Amino acid sequence: MIYFKYLAMNLKMVLEYRLSAWLVALGQLFSTLFWYLSIVLLFARFDNLLGWTFAEVSICFAVTSIAFALAECFARGFDTFSGLVIRGEFDRILLRPRNSLIQVLGSKTEITRFGRVLITVCILGVVIPKSGIIWTASKVLTLIFMIFGGAAVFIGIFILGAVVCFFTLEGLEVINIFTDGGRELASYPLPVYSKWIRRFFTFIIPLGCVNYLPLMYLTGRAEAHPGLYMLSPLLGFIFLIPCALAWKQGVRHYASSGS
């Protein structure tokens, strides 16, 4: 419940400056559209990408974009956690009789990221009828799993990035390899990358489990029991468990910056 109170407070703050919020949301919308244009231009040159069609890659892109936007909307507090540590504000959070993970989660939200969600939902609406996928209830459910499982993975990465701040005070740019880099990577089916990248982003950072494997089920490429591919996005939520444990260990080793 405390998270939703934080969310309501952040929403009121955004609505105080509505014009600014709309402009930021519009900027998010166009930045995502230009990002998508790179895929459009790629397929203007090639008919397919290792057998994956434009519509299938577009679904991969859209799902990843929505998942990342949702993670930024509702878990931005972890992405900006280094500021809390440097300013000594995390000390105040620890003094409150509430879970520190939830407090940081709700400390900052970016509602304006819905501009990105809006444009990618529009892209999905255009490419899904052209994908040739025969949609069933289970496939619709799989698509929903992909979005929320992907958001869970990105939130987990944000948490791990925040854990680093317990030891370095400032966040490390290397984390962007897994956040922004992971978003870029997951916009395409994993077979376009080398084997070690596919293994890393399947068994260590499970982006492949929430995106590529269920996409194989949607497009009829599943090589084992379809249920395994359908439920694989749920591994994104399981990924949050070790991330939460890492956070707990980071809090135990936290030493105030003295700011």
* Rounded Cα–Cα distance for residues 11 and 73 (Å): 11
DSSP secondary structure letter of residue 233? G
User: What is the rounded CA–CA span in Å between residue 157 and residue 172?
Assistant: 13
184 is written with which tokens? 């870029």
- Predicted confidence at residue 64, as pLDDT, reads 92
3-state helix, strand, coil in the chain (%, to 5): 80, 0, 20
d(CA 41, CA 22): 29
* Helix boundaries (H) for 75-211: 76-79, 81-86, 89-95, 100-106, 114-127, 137-168, 180-185, 195-199, 207-210
Query: Per the structure block, which two tokens stand in for 75?
Result: 């878990």
Q: Distance from first CA to last CA of the chain, Å, rounded?
A: 30
Average pLDDT over residues 227-249: 92
**3-state secondary structure at position 52:** strand
Which pLDDT tens digit goes with each residue over 124-171?
999 999 888 889 999 999 999 999 999 999 999 999 988 888 877 666
C-beta of residue 11 within 8 angstroms of C-beta of residue 111:
yes
Contacts of 95 (CB under 8 A, 6+ apart): none
> Taking residues 85-106, what's their average pLDDT?
82
- Angle at the Cα of 176 (from 173 to 180), degrees rounded to 5? 155
Q: Does residue 19 have a pLDDT over 70?
A: yes
Q: Which residue has the tokens 């439920």?
A: 231
Which one is predicted more confidently, 144 or 255? 144
C-alpha span between 211 and 259 (Å, rounded): 42
The two tokens of residue 234 are 């749920």
Look-up of token digits 């698509």:
143
- Token output for 255: 């030493």
The residues near 185 (Cβ < 8 Å, ≥ 6 apart) are: 193, 197, 201, 207
- pLDDT, tens digit, for every residue of 27-79? 888 888 888 998 999 898 888 888 899 999 999 999 999 999 999 888 888 87
Query: What's the pTM?
Result: 0.88
Distances (CA, A) of 96 to 80, 83, 243, 246, 254: 20, 19, 22, 21, 16
> How do the domains of the chain map onto residue ranges?
1-253
pLDDT, residue 257, reads: 62
Residues in the chain: 259
pLDDT in tens, 166-217: 877 666 666 777 777 878 888 888 888 888 988 998 899 999 999 999 999 9
